[in-house]
Amino acid sequence: MIEFSGDYSEGAHPRLLNRLVETNMEQTFGYGRDRYCAEAVKTIRKACQNDDVDVHMVVGGTLANTIAIAAALRPHQGVIAPVSAHINVQETGSIEAAGHKILTIPGENGKITAAQIDKVCEEYLENNGNVHVVQPKMVCLTHATEYGTIYGRKELQVISDVCRKRDLYLYIDGARIGYGVAAVDSDMDLPFIAKCCDVFCIGGSKQGAFFGEAVVVKNKYIADGFRQVMKQRGGLLAKGRLLGIQFHELLVDGLYFELSRHANKMAASIRGCLQANGIKFFVENTTNLLFPILPDNLYGELSKKYSLTYCGRHDDKSSIVRIATSWATTERNVQLLNSDISAIMQR
Amino acid sequence: MIEFSGDYSEGAHPRLLNRLVETNMEQTFGYGRDRYCAEAVKTIRKACQNDDVDVHMVVGGTLANTIAIAAALRPHQGVIAPVSAHINVQETGSIEAAGHKILTIPGENGKITAAQIDKVCEEYLENNGNVHVVQPKMVCLTHATEYGTIYGRKELQVISDVCRKRDLYLYIDGARIGYGVAAVDSDMDLPFIAKCCDVFCIGGSKQGAFFGEAVVVKNKYIADGFRQVMKQRGGLLAKGRLLGIQFHELLVDGLYFELSRHANKMAASIRGCLQANGIKFFVENTTNLLFPILPDNLYGELSKKYSLTYCGRHDDKSSIVRIATSWATTERNVQLLNSDISAIMQR
Amino acid sequence: MIEFSGDYSEGAHPRLLNRLVETNMEQTFGYGRDRYCAEAVKTIRKACQNDDVDVHMVVGGTLANTIAIAAALRPHQGVIAPVSAHINVQETGSIEAAGHKILTIPGENGKITAAQIDKVCEEYLENNGNVHVVQPKMVCLTHATEYGTIYGRKELQVISDVCRKRDLYLYIDGARIGYGVAAVDSDMDLPFIAKCCDVFCIGGSKQGAFFGEAVVVKNKYIADGFRQVMKQRGGLLAKGRLLGIQFHELLVDGLYFELSRHANKMAASIRGCLQANGIKFFVENTTNLLFPILPDNLYGELSKKYSLTYCGRHDDKSSIVRIATSWATTERNVQLLNSDISAIMQR
Amino acid sequence: MIEFSGDYSEGAHPRLLNRLVETNMEQTFGYGRDRYCAEAVKTIRKACQNDDVDVHMVVGGTLANTIAIAAALRPHQGVIAPVSAHINVQETGSIEAAGHKILTIPGENGKITAAQIDKVCEEYLENNGNVHVVQPKMVCLTHATEYGTIYGRKELQVISDVCRKRDLYLYIDGARIGYGVAAVDSDMDLPFIAKCCDVFCIGGSKQGAFFGEAVVVKNKYIADGFRQVMKQRGGLLAKGRLLGIQFHELLVDGLYFELSRHANKMAASIRGCLQANGIKFFVENTTNLLFPILPDNLYGELSKKYSLTYCGRHDDKSSIVRIATSWATTERNVQLLNSDISAIMQR
């Protein structure tokens, strides 16, 4: 089987792996107090063009999201997110287990708007003196979203503005932030994201690392005690340098976005082939996750050879399927897939 | 500086690293649903001589402890542990953050006894109809303990018996379980531990892996939903195979205990040297953590060249210091340390 | 201002108050270990025709709901409830603060169906091996609902059946259970509810008591440790007899349902008047909460003299308003309201 | 049986009960938004000589303590308290269930000192960069303590000073604050307490009310969102006026302290009798809780007629017993007890 089911099917990018091998027998302090973590922090600050942010690295996305939200919110406060948010549907109630309600709003293709956020706050202020309901205090966006869509600068700016106006923290779950920034139609970059957010994360696990998310914390209230919340929730890796080494390598010279562009390009090739064969998409996007509506025979045939992710029935003749590419997706595998698609469709 | 401050100063044992390199570009499913994890589960079951246990692998010790305890306890139930337990003093309140009180009892050199556990339960039953106090429902031991001491079979058996009698789950935090089992004066092994416990973990992070703890779950109530609790608390690694590969390699042919024996042997060499130079110990033990009481001049001199862990003042002329060895400790570094100790002491 | 804004505007029914006065200087044990609580437990068991249930009394509805749910669920489990459920929209995230996700389903007039519950469970079983999502383990209905609607025996029976089939606990938030049972078109009674549920509460605060909800616990797993969860969450009243005295008096000879019938009758009178004057309703029901759609002039005029609850705009000429009656609503006040409605509408 | 087992054996003081009867059929808004609560807030501010504090009333002590602490602390922060604190030993792990570790220090007769608090903070700062341990952020004292002892002004002032210096919130659990303030050797008053604390509560349940604790919140961070935390934890009483009416009545003209003085006086009479008969005390104090060491024959005889609280064996011939008086303790019952004590001892 050839894997197109996720962007975490292989190990780490060889450059990262090599650095882990080279440094393996070096001795360092534990828990992130080593030179490699210090170096990675510098590198990430530089990539964000902001020397005043705190940077912490944790092993995975659920940890990054839960820690960022738990560190920010008081007990009566909740986080606004689209229904489709990873924290709402793919993390087994981690935010609720940390004590907080997710104030869901219907997204469109995984995205939400400043107007929707504003409305939640307006309704809160009008509601019964605010005592019987949770206070909206944070917004959680995903970029690129779970549907592979992206926010533009203007969109993010107005969301950031409404957050400032409404006294909300803005958090971006950036598990796939590279794919989003590197999309051909994107005008986003890390410095702009850092400017707009209180806290966000830069995903490694789905973007070329063995594992790891770098959490960039700009807000001083959230930053205070952040490492303690990390430790309390199991997010402080003993051999922290494994994270430092990988993140430095990914971000020091643009490898991160180069890998993202590669994945997006591989996805574009598949997208083009599907479109050329008349396949429609459940969601239009320009990043590494495709959501084609596959006729049953095509899906059935492809499934014998390729691992894809089933998302749901579309109608009585077709299903919505997720095809994911990554830094590791080879042109050869994409060509195989494309020629199989064409062959099946043109029978 | 030469590191003796912890047992997690280097990366992974070369055999583990090699396997990670060899398998790096293979494609597998995520979240532990891969062949390497399946293989590791088999290997661990075999090492425990129990095919009926569930085995789950998480990244770190705080995650292992918190997940095992959170999966076991209802809201009004607490966990009995010695004051010195890692969960009580080194994990930033992770158990309390999961909602549970730690019912501490004074340990002796990190160990607790069946009689102490029994007494906590007796007092609970006598207390005001039990309503105003937390129900003791679990016991958490560490093996080897935070002071490097170990339990013998008889001790563990009577603790297990009192747990059965009192309807308590028995959990062993095995972050250093290899060092404990491999101690020269130990009669313990994994099958016996598996027989006595409801759940325990086999530590990787401090025992030769990049990271990872394998949680062995025998109790069916705790096992039910365990992976969901793992995911909820951020303990389900996306590229789960990294854990499977490492644990299989560690346990398939005894490498794990070989490394533990090496570390214990290195510690024994340092212990012998210290004793020969008249140094007393805060705690007597036979594993990889030494707690010598170092005179100020010796500690001062050694600190210029070696990284040690300060534990506290002993009297006005000496301090308690922790010296740790590991799989990676070289004979050469031990000889250097020993000859420096002797030289300073014999001035 | 004449109160129609809630069913908790006055103190306690005089019979309850008299008993509190009569017994005031008697000495009893605290925390529910007194003869009055014992008597109330017997009375409630008799009213439920079930001697095998545990009965616990707490001060308020949020406590009753949170304790029942916290006592039932493990960390990875959630509770299915309609979007309109009190626990979802009126209790400031209490369930999430206790660590659990509410798995909301769209209700119809506050009610949900067995088919909807079944579907949630079906989707759960199909979802990605169930690991990344919360396990549905409990259903929370409200009866009468927040919209004053009620379930019939057949509806509740099929919901109970699906809960048994899907291994879900069934909980009924009965803050207004009397109004529901006493509705003219109701075929429900407490014994049938006790037969169908694992746990439910009988509301006092909105049904004639100063305060108090009696939680009836049939399920043995939930019952075990229930009083400890109560104490932990602040639900164990020191002078517990205040609850026992009130609940005994309410339920010993049918006063509870007599008061409910009175409230429903008062509501019916207002409903009839509104209908006669051509007013439509947002929700049709037969209990003590009315949701008429009031034209702006009518609402404006009434608001000068009567306290009503604004629920939202209906269109540019009218609003949805809640009118509540209770045991304490006088015929005189209803006649005043009715004649004012007719006078304003017939101008 | 004559009750001396607690200070909550009777109902409410007749003046409070009368006011509840008089106001019973009045209509008010719910959830504390009524004139009686507004009046009580004014009365309590006046009693504290501070118009700038927020005042909230909840039903019981566990709710008051949990809400005050949950509203104050972030996830990685804990509360310093003596081992004997009610929150540590009598509330079924409520603070841990809210996510926070209690950082216990050994008390002396229920009291702790500024030096002990300072030491906890000093050790925290020295501990491993503070990451692996909980941050001490609050101090919880009880006044009068669980052993009936009291703090003097100077003691409280230096504790308050060290809290300011160490950036700790100071909370006083005042379930028995009246008994403490009204003790014959006390120089404390409510304004001084309000000056020293960030938040404290004035107990009603053990001091003459049916139920209720008034939480006085001076700190603006804790005050923000306090009512939402109250609602979330079930602490917002629907018929809030019941609390307002009682607290106004207790505090408007000094009834509260008059009742406290009465209880203390009744205790002094019993204390004098015990001393005259050669009985020693486990703890010396001047408030309403006595802890005599009763010889077995005396304890055995008294137990036939009086309800006392057993606290533990003292030696093989005597037990420590708690005798409690309250506003409702009659001189007649005290005389009966005293003459029985003398008669038994002088046989």
Task: Tell me the mean pLDDT in the region D257-266.
Answer: 98
Distance CA B338, CA B218 (A): 44
Report residue C297 as tokens: 């002039």
Given a contact cutoff of 8 angstroms between Cβ atoms, the answer to whether B65 and B140 are in contact is: yes
Residue ranges of A 64-83 with Cβ closer than 8 A to chain B:
66
Same domain, D25 and D166: yes
Domain residues for C105?
A: 14-253
- Choosing from D232, D253, D274, the residue where a domain stops is D253
Number of domains within chain C: 2
Same domain, C266 and C249: no
Any idea which residue has 């054996």 for tokens?
D9
- DSSP for residue B128: G
| CATH number of residue D95's parent domain | 3.40.640.10
Instruction: Select the residue of D75, D96, D133 nearest B100 (Cβ to Cβ).
Output: D96
All residues at 6 or more sequence positions from C105 whose CB lies less than 8 Å from its CB, including other chains: C80, C81, C82, C83, C112, C116, C117, C120
Candidates B23, B62, B102, partner chain A, best to mutate (most A CBs within 10 A): B62
Measuring CA to CA, how many Å separate D146 from each of D88, D169, D187, D285, D287?
11, 21, 19, 11, 11
- A153-166 and A114-126 are packed helices; what angle lies between their axes, rounded to 10 degrees? 20
Instruction: Select the residue of B70, B131, B231 nearest C231 (Cβ to Cβ).
Output: B131
Beta bridge partners of B3: B307
- Cβ–Cβ of D232/A33 closer than 8 Å? no
- Cβ–Cβ of B76/C134 closer than 8 Å? no
Q: Which DSSP string corresponds to D188-218?
A: --HHHHHHH-SEEEEE-TTTTSSS-EEEEE-
Size of interface A-C (CB pairs under 8 A): 50
Helix (H) or strand (E) holding D259: helix D255-276
Residues of A in contact with D225 (CB under 8 A): 74, 76-77, 135
Beta bridge partners of D169: D138
- Cβ–Cβ of D236/A131 closer than 8 Å? yes
> Neighbouring chains of B at 3+ CB pairs within 8 Å?
A, C, D
Given a contact cutoff of 8 angstroms between Cβ atoms, the answer to whether B217 and B199 are in contact is: yes
Same domain, D302 and D205: no
Distance CA D311, CA D299 (A): 12
> Neighbouring chains of C at 3+ CB pairs within 8 Å?
A, B, D
Measuring CA to CA, how many Å separate A2 from each of A273, A308, D85?
18, 9, 62
**Burial class of residue D147 (count of CB atoms within 10 Å of its CB; 0-12, 13-18, 19+):** buried
Measuring CA to CA, how many Å separate D341 from each of A341, B130, D9?
98, 31, 22
> Neighbouring chains of D at 3+ CB pairs within 8 Å?
A, B, C
Given a contact cutoff of 8 angstroms between Cβ atoms, the answer to whether C241 and C40 are in contact is: no
Same domain, A128 and A276: no
Given a contact cutoff of 8 angstroms between Cβ atoms, the answer to whether B5 and B309 are in contact is: yes
Using CA of residue A26, residue A29, residue A32, residue A37, what is the dihedral sign?
negative
- Cβ–Cβ of D134/B75 closer than 8 Å? no
Residues of B in contact with D93 (CB under 8 A): 76, 78, 100-101, 134
Same domain, A164 and A59: yes
The pairing of strands A289-295 and A281-283 is: antiparallel
Given a contact cutoff of 8 angstroms between Cβ atoms, the answer to whether C43 and C51 are in contact is: no
Q: What is the pLDDT of residues C20-76, one digit of tens each?
A: 999 999 999 999 999 999 999 999 999 999 999 999 999 999 999 999 999 999 999
Fill in the amino acid letter for D80.
I
Asked whether the predicted pLDDT for residue A72 surpasses 90, the reply is yes
B6 and chain D in contact, CB less than 8 A:
no
Residues of C in contact with B130 (CB under 8 A): 228
Fill in the amino acid letter for B222.
I
Beta strands in chain D (DSSP E): 2-3, 54-58, 77-82, 102-105, 135-142, 169-173, 199-203, 213-217, 281-283, 289-295, 306-307, 309-315, 318-324
Fill in the amino acid letter for B220.
K
Distance CA B205, CA A240 (A): 11
Measuring CA to CA, how many Å separate D233 from each of D30, D94, D173, D222?
17, 11, 18, 15
Given a contact cutoff of 8 angstroms between Cβ atoms, the answer to whether C222 and C169 are in contact is: yes
In the 3-class helix/strand/coil scheme, how is A101-157 assigned residue by residue?
CEEEECCECCECCHHHHHHHHHHHHHCHHHCCCCEEEEEEEECCCCCCCCCCHHHHH
- Give the pLDDT band (50/70/90) at residue D126: confident
Same domain, D98 and D23: yes
Asked whether the predicted pLDDT for residue C154 surpasses 90, the reply is yes
Helix (H, G, I), strand (E, B) or coil at C259: helix
- Cβ–Cβ of A21/B17 closer than 8 Å? yes
- Cβ–Cβ of A71/D74 closer than 8 Å? yes
Same domain, A223 and A139: yes
Gyration radius of chain D over CA positions:
21
Same domain, B85 and B204: yes
B225 and chain C in contact, CB less than 8 A:
yes
Instruction: Select the residue of A29, A61, A239 nearest B210 (Cβ to Cβ).
Output: A239
Residue ranges of C 124-183 with Cβ closer than 8 A to chain D:
none
Instruction: Select the residue of C33, C75, C228 nearest B229 (Cβ to Cβ).
Output: C75
Gyration radius of chain B over CA positions:
21
Same domain, D270 and D243: no
Instruction: Select the residue of A33, A131, A135 nearest D31 (Cβ to Cβ).
Output: A131
Given a contact cutoff of 8 angstroms between Cβ atoms, the answer to whether C1 and C175 are in contact is: no
| Averages of pLDDT over each 10 residues, chain B, 347 residues | 96 98 97 97 98 98 98 98 97 98 96 98 84 97 98 98 98 98 98 98 98 98 97 97 98 98 98 98 98 98 97 96 98 98 95
**Burial class of residue A14 (count of CB atoms within 10 Å of its CB; 0-12, 13-18, 19+):** middle
Report residue D191 as tokens: 């304004």
Instruction: Select the residue of D21, D66, D233 nearest C21 (Cβ to Cβ).
Output: D21
Helix (H, G, I), strand (E, B) or coil at B343: helix
| CATH number of residue C333's parent domain | 3.90.1150.10
- Give the pLDDT band (50/70/90) at residue A126: confident
- Choosing from C253, C280, C296, the residue where a domain stops is C253
All residues at 6 or more sequence positions from B60 whose CB lies less than 8 Å from its CB, including other chains: A59, A234, A236, A237, A238, B205, B211, B212, B213
- Choosing from D189, D224, D253, the residue where a domain stops is D253
Residue C126 confidence (pLDDT): 85
**Burial class of residue C158 (count of CB atoms within 10 Å of its CB; 0-12, 13-18, 19+):** middle
| CA closest to A66 among chain D residues | D75
Task: Tell me the mean pLDDT in the region C261-278.
Answer: 98
Task: Tell me the mean pLDDT in the region C180-199.
Answer: 98
Measuring CA to CA, how many Å separate C47 from each of C202, C259, D125?
11, 16, 60
- Cβ–Cβ of D131/B92 closer than 8 Å? yes
C105 and chain A in contact, CB less than 8 A:
no
Given a contact cutoff of 8 angstroms between Cβ atoms, the answer to whether D175 and D86 are in contact is: yes
Residue C274 confidence (pLDDT): 98
- C331-345 and C255-276 are packed helices; what angle lies between their axes, rounded to 10 degrees? 10
Helix (H) or strand (E) holding B135: strand B135-142
Candidates A17, A37, A62, partner chain B, best to mutate (most B CBs within 10 A): A62
Centre a 10 Å sphere on the Cβ of residue D209 and count the other Cβ atoms it contains.
29
Residues of A in contact with B63 (CB under 8 A): 234
D17 and chain C in contact, CB less than 8 A:
yes
The pairing of strands B309-315 and B281-283 is: unpaired
A238 and chain D in contact, CB less than 8 A:
no
Instruction: Select the residue of A2, A11, A60 nearest B23 (Cβ to Cβ).
Output: A11
Residues of B in contact with D78 (CB under 8 A): 93, 96
Residue B128 confidence (pLDDT): 61
D49 and chain A in contact, CB less than 8 A:
no
d(CA D181, nearest CA chain C) in Å = 22
Given a contact cutoff of 8 angstroms between Cβ atoms, the answer to whether D124 and D133 are in contact is: yes
ipTM over the 0.95 cut-off: yes
Strand order in the sheet with C213-217: C54-58, C213-217, C199-203, C169-173, C135-142, C77-82, C102-105
Residues of D in contact with B75 (CB under 8 A): 97
Same domain, D72 and D167: yes
**Burial class of residue B152 (count of CB atoms within 10 Å of its CB; 0-12, 13-18, 19+):** exposed
Global pTM value:
0.97
Distance CA B52, CA B45 (A): 8
Task: Tell me the mean pLDDT in the region A95-107.
Answer: 97
Q: Which DSSP string corresponds to B25-79?
A: T----STT-SHHHHHHHHHHHHHTT-TT-EEEEES-HHHHHHHHHHHH--TTEEE
Residue B129 confidence (pLDDT): 66
Same domain, D42 and D126: yes
Instruction: Select the residue of A2, A24, A237 nearest B59 (Cβ to Cβ).
Output: A237
- Cβ–Cβ of D76/A129 closer than 8 Å? no
Helix (H, G, I), strand (E, B) or coil at D90: coil
Length, in residues, of chain C? 347
Helix (H, G, I), strand (E, B) or coil at B178: helix
d(CA C225, nearest CA chain D) in Å = 11
Instruction: Select the residue of B76, B135, B232 nearest C76 (Cβ to Cβ).
Output: B232
Same domain, D217 and D262: no
Distance CA B295, CA B289 (A): 18
- Cβ–Cβ of C131/B76 closer than 8 Å? no
Helix (H, G, I), strand (E, B) or coil at B186: coil
Distance CA C75, CA A93 (A): 9
Residue A128 confidence (pLDDT): 61
Phi then psi dihedrals of residue C231, to 5 deg: -65, -45
Alpha helical stretches, state H, chain C: 14-22, 35-47, 61-72, 86-89, 94-97, 114-126, 153-166, 177-181, 190-196, 220-223, 226-232, 241-251, 255-276, 296-303, 331-345
User: Taking the mean position of all CA atoms in its chain, how far away is CA A281?
Assistant: 21
D239 and chain A in contact, CB less than 8 A:
no
- Cβ–Cβ of A76/D228 closer than 8 Å? yes
Residue D129 confidence (pLDDT): 66
